[in-house]
Structure 1
Amino acid sequence: MKEGLGVQVDRISGALSGRFKIPPPPTIAARLIGNNQISFSHFRNLESRPESSAPPEREEGFVLCASLTATRFSRVCLAGRAQSVLQSPGEAYLFDLTSQYEISLDAQFDNVRFQISQAAIDEMAYEKGIGRVGGLHSKYFGQQDQILHHLAQTILPVIENTSAVTTAFVEYIALAFHDHVIYTYGGVRKGGQAVGGLSPWQLRRACDFIEANLAGDPSIQALSAECGLSTSYFTRAFRLSKGMTPHQWIIQRRISRGKSLLRDPRLTLAEIAQLCGFVDQSHFGRHFVRATGTTPAQARRDGRSRG
């Protein structure tokens, strides 16, 4: 039986809380294939303690931590070998969940934690026409990885406020993370995987599906299924066809629908926001100003004066 995404997120957050003796860290996840997910946690310790973390439950998967602040750990024990570690922003710390590890809790730290299972690595690689990826390996513990650092900075506000973005955005970051780790840590050679744009019927079906579900939260997984494509292929093909990601297109169409609904004086701004799929009136307003340079209220007034 498949475990719900929310249940998986709560399980990861609860396990981190217990192992590191911290409040349950905010955690989100994307499921792109089957029951396999990629999770993101704002993983931090704000109180120094003279003890170490508990060892993780053994599973086939990997964790990458992107440090947001400089931290010195007096003891990090990996596979029985202990060392002190100076963690710096821009560095990536890879943990294999099949091996035992623990860290000292005498330091305050602030990370974005990425977790991916071996099954997710392989199934998504298979979608790309790549053979099985034999695990992830870093050159050394704490290697420079500016791409992961930027991904961490991008996903951090989403972890703290999940209602502010679409499911498609979280899935897009998950796809980008998977691409990055298989080439950087999985030993996969970058090849010339040919990806064309969507066919006319696929593009029409994807856009129609988005229009029909604007008030909800259309996901890349659902869109790719409508077109009979894998999530990774669909995302690349959609961007080639439209010149933007599915998430960007969804926001653009929501703004367009909002402009149309502003002409109806019977609708409040809060009602328009809900009909367009925004969380609330404030969320609608922020995106509207970003796209048009004016507020929804001003746009409505301007439309009335022109009328």
Structure 2
Amino acid sequence: MLADRVSVAIGRGYNIPPPPTVAARIAGASEIAFSHFKSLEPQPGLSVPSPREEAFVFNVPLAPARYPIVSIDGRRQSVIQDPGKAYLFDLTSRNEVSLDTTYDSIRIHLPQTAIDCMAYEKGLPRVGGLRALCLGQDDAVLYHLALTLRPAILHSVPVTTAFMEYIALALHDHVIYTYGDIRRGARASGGLTPWQVRRACDFIEANLADDPSIAELSRECGISASYFARAFRVTLGMTPHQWITSRRIERAKSLMVQTMESLAEIAIMCGFVDQSHLGRHFLRLDGISPAQWRRRRHSE
């Protein structure tokens, strides 16, 4: 799996424990990997270059970091990485950095095959590589995506597949127009047809206890994953993963009223990892805990 391969390579290259890494599929079998790349203990020497491959890495710092040496194919420079900027590296080059620093960032591993497959699915021409204006290009979009990704990477178990896929699709869309050779043209803005809404919602209801993905939902509707994710939000006013969470909460409420099952059992029945996972989402959406909500309903 891409996540395991990337995590092991980072650990070996930077002499740190393999960092937490998750991957999201965006088209076919193509994946993007996201790692929380962090070290608070400076070390001597340079990193070990990653194996050369047709892929790109974005380093998106969450805290400032000063690298005395950043070497790309033997060309050395000193780089101060700042939050709000994105640092693009081509893995067909030999990339080395000094380890005598501390850093905290989100690392995005984007294979060329994933870029190509997603572009093909969108009906776009092949993206001939990625290029930045400079090493450290201002990029508020990637920075905010990184902030969103950090808790998902550190606590990957409670994260839905649909959430990670949605983030990956948004990332791809931003990257190909910002760093690729694709010009942004007219964007499709239509929503789902009534039958597609029914098909998607029925599939979600039937699979709430599992982990319905955007890929599965788009196949049910006969459209691409990228178009589905955009059209779903246009039609229903929320992303697929937000809709899945809201439906899980509604099912939990129904079970709390109609059965005497424990909250832990209800959480599993509705697709949550455990009772605390249910509680966090319930509190965010309703402002009270599931136990409080249940007591109020039973006292009415």
Relative to the length of structure 1, the TM-score reads: 0.95
Alignment gaps of 5+ in structure 1? 1-6
Secondary structure at 1:252 match in 2: helix
Cα separation, 2, equivalents of 1:150 and 1:193: 23
Aligned to 2:182: 188
Cα separation, 1, equivalents of 2:70 and 2:39: 15
- Amino acid of the residue matched to residue 8 of structure 1? L
1:280 lines up with 2:297 in the alignment? no
1:225 lines up with 2:219 in the alignment? yes
Q: Is the CA contact (8 Å cut-off) linking 1:224 and 1:231 kept in structure 2?
A: yes
- Amino acid of the residue matched to residue 208 of structure 1? D
- Amino acid of the residue matched to residue 160 of structure 1? L
Q: Is the CA contact (8 Å cut-off) linking 1:44 and 1:109 kept in structure 2?
A: yes
Q: Is the CA contact (8 Å cut-off) linking 1:238 and 1:244 kept in structure 2?
A: yes
Q: Is the CA contact (8 Å cut-off) linking 2:59 and 2:86 kept in structure 1?
A: yes
Residue 199 of structure 1: which of 158, 183, 193 is its match? 193
Aligned to 1:72: 66
Aligned to 1:3: none
Q: CA deviation at 1:286?
A: 1.4
Aligned to 1:4: none
Q: CA deviation at 1:31?
A: 1.0
1:14 lines up with 2:5 in the alignment? no
Cα separation, 2, equivalents of 1:273 and 1:88: 41
Cα separation, 2, equivalents of 1:275 and 1:226: 23
Alignment gaps of 5+ in structure 2? none
Give deviations 1:70-114, integer Å, cap 9, x for gaps: 111111101220011111111110000111110010111111001
Q: CA deviation at 1:187?
A: 2.8
Secondary structure at 1:217 match in 2: coil
Aligned to 1:239: 233
Cα separation, 1, equivalents of 2:235 and 2:12: 46
Give deviations 1:1-57, integer Å, cap 9, x for gaps: xxxxxx321111011111111100000000122221111000122221111011111
Q: Is the CA contact (8 Å cut-off) linking 1:195 and 1:233 kept in structure 2?
A: no
Residue 125 of structure 2: which of 115, 131, 139 is its match? 131
Aligned to 1:260: 254
- Amino acid of the residue matched to residue 200 of structure 1? P
Cα separation, 1, equivalents of 2:189 and 2:145: 24
Which ranges of 4 or more aligned residues in structure 1 deviate by more than 2 Å?
Answer: none
Give deviations 1:204-237, integer Å, cap 9, x for gaps: 1111110011011111111111111111011011
Secondary structure at 1:283 match in 2: helix
Stretch deviating more after TM superposition (233-242 or 287-296): 287-296
- Amino acid of the residue matched to residue 110 of structure 1? D
1:51 lines up with 2:45 in the alignment? yes
Cα separation, 2, equivalents of 1:265 and 1:204: 28
Q: CA deviation at 1:265?
A: 4.1
Give deviations 1:137-163, integer Å, cap 9, x for gaps: 000001111111100000000000012
Q: Is the CA contact (8 Å cut-off) linking 2:27 and 2:121 kept in structure 1?
A: no
1:289 lines up with 2:286 in the alignment? no
Aligned to 1:94: 88
1:175 lines up with 2:169 in the alignment? yes
Relative to the length of structure 2, the TM-score reads: 0.97
1:36 lines up with 2:50 in the alignment? no
Cα separation, 1, equivalents of 2:191 and 2:259: 40
Secondary structure at 2:9 match in 1: helix
Aligned to 2:111: 117
Cα separation, 2, equivalents of 1:105 and 1:289: 42
Give deviations 1:262-292, integer Å, cap 9, x for gaps: 1134211111111111111111111112111
Secondary structure at 1:63 match in 2: strand
Q: Is the CA contact (8 Å cut-off) linking 2:61 and 2:106 kept in structure 1?
A: yes
Secondary structure at 1:115 match in 2: strand
Cα separation, 2, equivalents of 1:209 and 1:151: 28
Aligned residues: percent identity? 59
Secondary structure at 1:53 match in 2: coil
Q: CA deviation at 1:164?
A: 2.3
Cα separation, 2, equivalents of 1:187 and 1:35: 24
Q: Is the CA contact (8 Å cut-off) linking 1:77 and 1:101 kept in structure 2?
A: yes
Cα separation, 2, equivalents of 1:102 and 1:293: 48
